[in-house]
Amino acid sequence: MRGIIEKLPYLHALGIEILWLSPIYKSPFIDNGYDIADYQAIDPLFGTMDDFDELLAKAKTLGIAIIMDLVVNHCSDQHDWFKQACTDPNCEEASYFYFRESVNGHAPNNLRANFGGCVWDKVPGHNNLYYCHFFAKEQPDLNWFNEKLRRRIYQMINWWLDKGVAGFRVDAIMSIGKDPTFPDFPQDALGDGMCACSAMNLQCNEATNRFLNEMQEQIFRPRQAFTVGEVFNLQAENLGKFIGDNGNFSTIFDFGPHEHVCGHCAYYAYEKLSVAQLREEIFKSQRAAADYGFLAPVIENHDEPRGVSCYLPPMWHNSLGAKALGTISMLLRGIPFIYQGQELGMLNTRFNSIEEFQDLQSKEEYRRCLRQGLSVSEALDVLNAHARDHARTPMPWNEGPHAGFTSGTPWMRLQQDYQQVNVKAQLADADSVLRHYQKLVSLKKDPALQTVLTYGSCTELNTPYANVIAYTRKLAMQSVVVAANFDEGCATLTLTRRGTLRLTSGQVFINENQLTLQPGSSAVLVLA
Ligand code: TEU
């Protein structure tokens, strides 16, 4: 946290107004802090509560609000509630969890946890009793059907709001919808007799929405908290329950492209999207949200590989591609999020062996690859494309030891390009990805464009090019065209009228109402 305090001016210069912190609570770190042992304590690994208060106060002076990660589908098996529940399965705390007796000597049902294995494990010391965990076995799921539990969660949320945090990024929240009878499900494509636990969540959206509605009406709305939900697999017609005036969140992440990549049973079956497919996903989300409210566009986060590596063809795995993709993402209708290092155009890391990965999901996916018959090197290729660890390497501040992140020993290796791709180098280069992101944010906040870029409609601009992504933001008489060319050749777009270029990356030309984009370039143009 001292590091974040030190870098607040950097974030301020980037232009951001909200800072989302991944979990910094007390944790045994089985899942990078998403296993919380005490919701109201800072883990000493990050600093103290005093540091946190200082961070909050200093951020405020720079106009930066802080949002915390709210991880309430599950806690850690080291949380007091779970420890008490294990000691006495009849105590109140035990009812905060899903404890079930075995069925015919087996686990209650055949759901597979998100990180592999069965969602059921035995309650320590109780041979016939199981607890449910949709993630790791060290992350017991909380029973949202229990009103006392919900009250305790709401108290905790209020405590953070009282402290002055602006709101929350709400983790894995669709997982709280469960069928408390825990029936068996038909086995899925992994062929191990089990079924991904998300199948149950999909059937229980009604319960989820009931809980979310209560939390919104009783806590978030009266407190005017800003919330961004981690919500997957929504039907377009249900969006109004999540965003907009009647939604249960301020916004939710737009995971359209991500869901397309990972809509399969295991990393080894994931798809590589074409630019055309990426475009299709982007505008599908934009069309769906138009009538309701704001989505939060993202190209990467701590659960995903780097967006440039994931979504662009290899020829654009460079600063040109990063700037063009950033342009498209940042000016969509919505509340864009930048994930640390995205603003530098960071690419995936080349991991050389399974030992270099930290994430428990990477380890499980590696086992799945091997079980599927892939060789060690093929399995590594799969992880090198999809692992969450790509987003979890230390932030590169300079070309020095440990990229200037620490004088100690970081938790994992650096991304291999850090001597060129780091904050210091990019601040010194007027043409860097970082400088481009700064310009994008300031363009979005430009008083002359702020209204159209916030409230204006977003309509896909059809072009004859498979690898061009372009759209118009429009409000009343104002139109802004945003375009990026990921093709090998030039692309010329014919616009309805002449315009003025406001921001470009790469080589762009205008001639009357013709906009020509060289390969890898992007443009933002205000129509006359
Ligand atoms: O992720 C929720 C989730 O569903 C993940 O399984 C996600 O789909 C997957 O990691 C994508 O590869 C949240 C957090 O963002 C993640 O870091 C945590 O591991 C998870 O919850 C459990 O708390």
Instruction: Identify whether 444 is part of a domain.
Output: no
CA distance 70 to 101: 30
pLDDT for res 189: 93
pLDDT for res 268: 97
**Full DSSP string of 179-247:** -TT-------TT-SS-EETHHHHHHTHHHHHHHHHHHIIIIIHHHT-EEEE---S--GGGGGGTSSTT-
CATH code of the domain in which 19 resides? 3.20.20.80
**Full DSSP string of 97-143:** B-EEE-BTTB-S--EEPTTSSBSEEEPTT-TTEEEE-SS-TTSPBB-
Instruction: Identify whether 208 is part of a domain.
Output: yes
Q: Are residues 352 and 463 in the same domain?
A: no
Instruction: Identify whether 385 is part of a domain.
Output: no
**Full DSSP string of 1-17:** -HHHHHTHHHHHHHT-S
pLDDT for res 76: 99
Q: Are residues 329 and 198 in the same domain?
A: yes
pLDDT for res 72: 98
Domain boundary (326, 341, 357) is at 357
The H or E element spanning position 26 is: strand 25-26
Instruction: Identify whether 365 is part of a domain.
Output: no
Rounded to the nearest angstrom, the gap between the alpha carbon of residue 387 and the centroid of all alpha carbons in its chain is 14
CB–CB of 120/130 below 8 Å? yes
| Cα-based angle 315, 320, 322 (whole degrees, multiple of 5) | 95
Catalytic, 171? Answer: yes
Q: Are residues 115 and 189 in the same domain?
A: no
Sheet with 514-517: list strands edge to edge: 491-494, 514-517, 508-511
Q: Which of 43, 93, 121, 171 is catalytic?
A: 171
Instruction: Please name every residue paired with 485 in a beta bridge, in sequence order, or none if there are none.
Output: 468
pLDDT for res 311: 98
The per-residue pLDDT for range 131-177, each reduced to its tens digit, is 999 999 999 999 999 999 999 999 999 999 999 999 999 999 999 99
Tell me the residue range of the domain where 484 lies: 456-527
Q: Are residues 353 and 464 in the same domain?
A: no
Structure tokens at 178: 């469960």
Q: Are residues 121 and 20 in the same domain?
A: no
Q: Which of 43, 230, 303, 364 is catalytic?
A: 230
CA distance 344 to 342: 5
CATH code of the domain in which 95 resides? 3.90.400.10
* Three-state secondary-structure class, residue 519: coil
CATH code of the domain in which 495 resides? 2.60.40.1180
Spacing, Cα 303 to ligand 1 middle (Å): 6
Q: Are residues 200 and 93 in the same domain?
A: no
Nearest-CA neighbor of 458 among 263, 218, 303, 295? 295
The per-residue pLDDT for range 287-323, each reduced to its tens digit, is 999 999 999 999 999 999 999 999 999 999 999 999 9
Spacing, Cα 172 to ligand 1 middle (Å): 6
pLDDT for res 61: 98
Instruction: Identify whether 377 is part of a domain.
Output: no
Spacing, Cα 405 to ligand 1 middle (Å): 25
pTM: 0.97
Rounded to the nearest angstrom, the gap between the alpha carbon of residue 472 and the centroid of all alpha carbons in its chain is 26
Q: Are residues 86 and 48 in the same domain?
A: no
CB–CB of 171/20 below 8 Å? no
**Which atom of ligand 1 approaches the CA of 73 most closely?**
23
Q: Are residues 271 and 124 in the same domain?
A: no
Q: Are residues 103 and 205 in the same domain?
A: no
**Full DSSP string of 473-515:** EEETTEEEEEEEE-SSS-EEEE-SS-EEEEEEES-EEEETTEE
pLDDT for res 246: 96
Domain boundary (132, 155, 175) is at 132
Q: Are residues 287 and 233 in the same domain?
A: yes
Catalytic, 230? Answer: yes
- Residues in the chain predicted with pLDDT less than 50, given as ranges, are none
Instruction: Identify whether 69 is part of a domain.
Output: yes
**Which atom of ligand 1 approaches the CA of 361 most closely?**
10
Ligand 1: residue whose CA is nearest its atom 21: 172
CB contact set of 386 (below 8 Å; sequence gap of 6+): 261, 262, 267, 270, 305, 365
Spacing, Cα 31 to ligand 1 middle (Å): 9
Domain boundary (357, 383, 409) is at 357
Number of domains in the chain: 3
CB contact set of 88 (below 8 Å; sequence gap of 6+): 94
Instruction: Identify whether 246 is part of a domain.
Output: yes
The per-residue pLDDT for range 90-112, each reduced to its tens digit, is 999 999 999 999 999 999 999 99
**Full DSSP string of 81-108:** HHHHHHH-TTSGGGGGB-EEE-BTTB-S
Q: Are residues 154 and 241 in the same domain?
A: yes
Ligand 1: residue whose CA is nearest its atom 18: 34
Residues with a CB atom less than 6 Å from ligand 1: 31, 34, 71, 114, 135, 171-172, 230, 302-303, 361, 388
Let me know if 500 is exposed, middle or buried by CB neighbors in 10 A (0-12, 13-18, 19+).
Answer: exposed
Q: Are residues 341 and 476 in the same domain?
A: no
Instruction: Identify whether 433 is part of a domain.
Output: no
Torsion on CA atoms 163, 169, 174, 175, rounded to nearest 10: -70
The per-residue pLDDT for range 21-65, each reduced to its tens digit, is 999 999 999 999 999 999 999 999 999 999 999 999 999 999 999
**Which atom of ligand 1 approaches the CA of 172 most closely?**
2
* Three-state secondary-structure class, residue 177: coil
- Tracing tokens 């999020």 back to the chain, one arrives at 337
